[in-house]
């Protein structure tokens, strides 16, 4: 069987970087395509590529620029021909680094910037990379015996529990909540369209928990110690979910522990 191929968008740090490390370590042989805005400044990612020169390829891609995404997809198509997994992990809490606590903090540009990175980017990624996922070999997830429900690839959009409309009891964080709620709708739409394709692509949103990354760091003091996860723990949980995905689970959002999240 050919080696699995995974593309991790937003791979220079945080969850994205850990996804690269986890797959290289635990799914051998495998090939990882790591994308980020500025590869030359991604010291840790460059170091990881040095350790796995034949298995890790770094591709320049700014998720806010459609031309970057199109060019990256063409490069991946030419060099690899297919994908089995795509994880969209880039996220922006807010351009200021802090979520809005009230309506007076809201600005049009803040909302637009957050939506562009968190929602528009992953959807445009799907536009250009879905054809490569349709050529995948289903190396991630679980394949049923029923041919009609087998899948070729998986799209994972990293969401957040605060994007759940049904779970929102506190308010605030307008831009981030809206962007993740919209991302969940994009996931649902993608699951319907790509679920009609032959072969099928599974599409899910995954919540990683509160992770010790730059995005959440301003709010760590409010998080109980046992609920603040390392990137290693969070990605380990998420990869366990990914490896159990099948077509019956497409179009849904899941918590880090595998529980389904309300939209």
Write out pLDDT tens, residues 77-115.
Answer: 999 999 999 999 999 999 998 889 999 999 999 999 999
Whole-number Å distance between alpha carbons of 48 and 56 = 8
Q: What is the DSSP letter of 118?
A: I
Residue 28 is predicted with a pLDDT of 82
- Positive or negative, the CA dihedral 138, 140, 145, 150 is negative
Whole-number Å distance between alpha carbons of 149 and 201 = 10
Give buried/exposed letters for 226-258 (b at 16+ CB in 10 A, else e).
Answer: eebbebebbbebbbebbeebbbebbbbbbbbee
Task: Give the CATH fold of the 5-261 domain.
Answer: Rossmann fold (3.40.50)
Query: What secondary structure does DSSP assign to 159-170, as a single string?
Result: --GGG-TTT--S
Residue 46 is predicted with a pLDDT of 98
Whole-number Å distance between alpha carbons of 44 and 138 = 29
Question: 89: alpha, beta or left, given left = phi > 0 and alpha = psi -120 to 50?
Answer: alpha
Whole-number Å distance between alpha carbons of 44 and 38 = 12
pLDDT higher than 80, residue 217: no
Residue 90 is predicted with a pLDDT of 93
Going from N- to C-terminal start, the domains of the chain cover: 5-261
Of 252, 262, 256, 261, which is closest to residue 241 (Cα–Cα)?
Answer: 256
pLDDT higher than 60, residue 219: no
pLDDT higher than 60, residue 22: yes
Whole-number Å distance between alpha carbons of 4 and 85 = 8
- Sheet strand arrangement including 200-206: 56-60, 31-36, 5-9, 85-88, 151-158, 200-206, 253-254, 260-261
pLDDT higher than 80, residue 220: no
pTM: 0.94
How big is the CA angle at 206 (ends 239 and 172), to the nearest 5 degrees? 145
- Positive or negative, the CA dihedral 218, 219, 225, 228 is negative
149-189: pLDDT as tens digits: 999 999 999 999 999 998 899 999 999 999 999 999 999 99
Q: What is the DSSP letter of 172?
A: -
Cβ neighbors of 157 (< 8 A, separation 6 or more) are 88, 122, 183, 184, 186, 187, 203, 204, 205, 206
- Positive or negative, the CA dihedral 251, 66, 137, 32 is negative
pLDDT higher than 90, residue 253: yes
User: Is 90:8 a contact under the CB 8 Å cutoff?
Assistant: no
Which residue spans within 30-133 are E strands per DSSP? 31-36, 56-60, 85-88
Confidence of residue 54 (pLDDT cuts 50, 70, 90): very high
């Amino acid at each position: 069987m050919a080696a699995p191929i995974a593309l991790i968008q937003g791979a220079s740090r945080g969850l994205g970087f850990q996804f690269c490390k986890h797959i290289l370590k635990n799914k051998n042989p495998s090939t990882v395509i790591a994308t980020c805005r500025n590869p030359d400044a991604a010291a840790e990612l460059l170091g990881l590529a040095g350790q796995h020169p034949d298995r890790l390829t770094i591709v320049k891609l700014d998720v806010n620029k459609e031309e970057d995404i199109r060019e990256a997809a063409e490069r991946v198509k030419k060099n690899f021909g297919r994908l089995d997994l795509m994880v969209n992990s880039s996220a922006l809490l807010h351009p200021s680094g802090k979520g809005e606590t009230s309506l007076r903090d809201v600005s049009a540009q803040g909302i637009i910037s957050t939506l562009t990175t968190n929602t528009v980017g992953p959807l445009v990624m799907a536009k250009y990379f879905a054809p490569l996922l349709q050529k995948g070999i289903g190396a991630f997830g679980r394949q049923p015996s029923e041919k009609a429900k087998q899948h070729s690839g998986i799209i994972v959009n990293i969401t957040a529990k605060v994007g759940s409309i049904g779970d929102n009891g506190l308010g605030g964080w307008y831009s981030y909540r809206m962007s993740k709620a919209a991302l969940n709708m994009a996931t649902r739409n993608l699951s319907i369209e790509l679920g009609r394709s032959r072969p099928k692509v599974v599409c899910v949103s995954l919540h990683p928990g509160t992770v010790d990354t730059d995005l959440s760091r301003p709010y760590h003091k409010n998080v109980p110690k046992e609920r603040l996860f390392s990137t290693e723990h969070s990605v380990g949980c998420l990869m366990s979910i990914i490896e159990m995905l099948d077509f019956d689970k497409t179009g849904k959002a899941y918590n880090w522990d595998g529980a389904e999240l309300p939209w």
